[in-house]
Amino acid sequence: MSIKSIVEVKNIGKSFGATRALNDVSFEFNPGEIFALVGANGAGKSTLIKIICGYYSDYEGQILVEGKEVNFSSPHDAYSNGIQTVHQIINQSVVQNMTVAENLALEELLSSEQSFFYKRQAIKDRAITIAEKMDLHFPDLDMPVGLLSQSERQMIAIARALASEPKLLILDEPTSSISDKETERLFAILVQLRKMGVAILYVSHRLHEIERIADRVGVVRDGAQGETLERPFDVKRIVTAMVGEIKKHKVLDSGTEKKYPKVKLELRNYVIEEGGSPINLKVYEGEILGITGLIGAGKSELALAMFGVTTPFSGEMFIDGQLVKPKTIAEAIQKGVFLVPEDRNNNAVIPEFTIQQNITLPFLQSFSKFGFLKVAKEQQSAKRMVESMGIKCSGEQALIESLSGGNQQKVIVARWLLMDNHVLILDEPFQGVDVKSRHDISMYLGKHSGKRATILIAADLDEVLEAADRIIVLNHGQIAGEQLADKVDRGELLHWISQAEPVSVS
């Protein structure tokens, strides 16, 4: 081991029952270095992180901090040794029923030096100091964190981790739900931390980020140690080290109206909220429409209105020429409108349920007769989706919380692909999903598009281009532009995404 290493993991192994999650994995994390850890979903990345940060204490191998072997029995032990972690599952990094100020200043609240009496103003002052380091501004520090957006919760978790001045900072998918502007802010801070000698362990499926900021890349493949790549490296080389060669699927033919003669879904003068711009669009039978734009551009708000979570201010939605006005989620599902929600942890995953139960939950009526559940039929359907989506698990009866974040995401996508529908909306379906799984999901969507209209929403342009036949850009709640997938001008798309005053395209 290099004497300069802050943390070293040696020959780490970990099993969950009969499942071998990690086997003989060794890495060094050096001061002043951004070490990117990559691997497919279920490769063992999150398991390794949870061992380093003290979440799992029963493992094989050694952890050394500055050359001395340690045995962490809790996350507090790791924290006391200068290891700070921001987990991929945001709810593991914030306390949702506590306020913004309390979450930012959580270290002070939990300190043994904290007075018996709650010092509200002192906590607020500390929270403001922490937030300002990340250039964060919250109008109401007394608001419960659970009421904030996923992006805001993520930034709170990151800001608090940075405030503790760690020796090793572990970031697991830190940019999966934050805007490009917030990502740039984070990267600037990581560069400063690197200059200060902090070791940074950075996990992301966004390989262009890794290509940009990482000093070294370590690969975990099927629970075993893969290559360690040194600069210069590129995305293709990283992908090959992770999963081997990926065959590209053929881009669909151009000419939307020619290829898709029937309009499946139409929005006419659809206004999400008072003062908003009207949205007019058509989605054709069998088409995958990609909608992209910055966080806050109105993409998720559009999805929620169509799914009956919120009520649009005005306008109409037609499916097969028939006016549809879902006032509830149940009514939307009944009308054949399905939604894969953006916030998996709060709005989709039920941790105490099995994979099977999470997949079949909205459709139990289809598996019942005279009030009795047809268990064999339910299990067969869940098993089919597990196999079709390539969900890495011990079986459909395993608890969903036993899966990696990426595989949990695939379960939720599988849920809404289980039954036929008229309109399938997928809001950020690739969060925490590796490049091969993203490709597999895109292929599945394309092959099984059937007679429905599919809307794929993602802020990451590459994710939209992977699957969509046509791309629409939303900017400030209005359509800024539209392109066919096989005639993409990336520069023009980026211009539409980023321009301050979008002009609607007729």
Map out the domains of the chain as residue ranges.
Answer: 7-243, 246-336+421-506, 347-420
Task: Indicate the SS3 state at residue 220.
Answer: strand
Beta bridge partners of 424: 338, 454
* H and E: helices and strands count for the chain: 19, 22
Point out the least confidently predicted range of 156-165, 239-248, 478-487.
239-248
Determine the CATH number of domain 246-336+421-506.
3.40.50.300
447-466 mean pLDDT: 90
Residue 16's pLDDT is: 84
User: Is pLDDT larger for residue 311 or for residue 372?
Assistant: 311
d(CA 288, CA 28): 43
Find the mean pLDDT for residues 415-425.
Answer: 94
- Spatial distance between the Cα atoms of 185 and 240, rounded to a whole number of angstroms: 30
pLDDT in tens, 93-152: 788 888 999 999 888 777 666 666 667 888 888 899 988 888 888 889 999 988 888 788
* 328-349 tens-digit pLDDT: 999 999 999 999 998 877 778 8
Q: Which pLDDT band, with edges at 50, 70 and 90, does 425 fall under?
A: very high
Q: Is residue 249 scored above 50 in pLDDT?
A: no
Domains 7-243 and 246-336+421-506 share a fold: yes
Q: Report the share of the chain in percent with pLDDT over 70.
A: 93
Q: What is the pLDDT of residue 343?
A: 81
232: cis peptide before it, omega within 30°? yes
What is the 8-class DSSP label of residue 251? Answer: P
Q: What is the pLDDT of residue 283?
A: 96
Asked if the model's pLDDT at residue 383 lies above 90, the reply is: yes
pLDDT tens digits, one per residue of 283-333: 999 999 999 998 788 999 999 999 999 999 999 999 999 999 999 999 999
Euclidean distance between CA atoms 150 and 164, whole angstroms = 22
Gap between the Cα atoms of 236 and 61, Å rounded: 32
- Place 64 in a pLDDT band, splitting at 50, 70 and 90: very high
Confidence band (pLDDT; 50, 70, 90) for 256? very low
pLDDT band, very low/low/confident/very high, at 258 (cuts 50, 70, 90): very low
Q: 296 with 342: CB under 8 angstroms?
A: no
Location of structure tokens 């109206």: 257
Mean pLDDT along residues 383-393: 90
Give the burial class of 303: count Cβ atoms within 10 A of its Cβ; 0-12 exposed, 13-18 middle, 19 or more buried. Answer: buried
> Which homologous superfamily does the CATH classification assign to the domain defined by 7-243?
P-loop containing nucleotide triphosphate hydrolases (3.40.50.300)
290 or 369, which is more confident: 290
Burial class (CB in 10 A: 0-12, 13-18, 19+), 111: exposed
Kindly tell me if the per-residue pLDDT of 260 is higher than 70. Answer: no
- Structure confidence by residue, pLDDT tens digits, 3-57: 478 999 999 999 988 778 899 999 999 999 999 999 887 888 989 999 999 999 9
Assign 402 a pLDDT band (cuts: 50, 70, 90): confident
Q: What is the mean pLDDT of the chain?
A: 87
Distance from C-alpha of 289 to C-alpha of 287, rounded to nearest angstrom = 6
Residue 458 C-alpha from the chain's centroid: 10
Q: In this predicted structure, what is the pLDDT of residue 257?
A: 45
What's the alpha-carbon Rg for the chain, to the nearest Å?
23
Are 37 and 209 a contacting pair, CB within 8 Å? Answer: no
Cα 315 to the center of its chain, rounded Å? 31
**Residue 201 confidence (pLDDT) above 50:** yes
| Contact between residue 472 and residue 488 where contact means Cβ atoms under 8 Å apart | no
Quick one: pLDDT at residue 62? Answer: 94
Mean pLDDT of 386-404: 89
Q: Pick 35 or 372 by higher pLDDT.
A: 35
Hey, what long-range contacts does 371-376 have (CB within 8 A, 24 or more apart)? none
Q: Return d(Cα 481, Cα 497) in angstroms, integer.
A: 9
Q: For CA atoms 122, 125, 129, 135, give the dihedral sign.
A: positive
Q: In degrees to the nearest 10, what's the CA dihedral of 173, 176, 182, 185? A: 20
CA angle 167–169–170, rounded 5-degree value: 145
Residue 333's pLDDT is 94
Q: What is the reported pLDDT for 208? A: 85
- Could you give the strand order of the β-sheet that contains 68-70, starting from the edge strand earlier in sequence? 68-70, 60-65, 7-16, 19-29, 224-230, 216-221, 33-38, 199-203, 168-172, 83-86
Beta strands in 231-333 (DSSP E): 263-271, 279-284, 288-292, 314-319, 322-324
| The pLDDT value given to residue 268 | 96
Confidence check: pLDDT of 218 > 50? yes
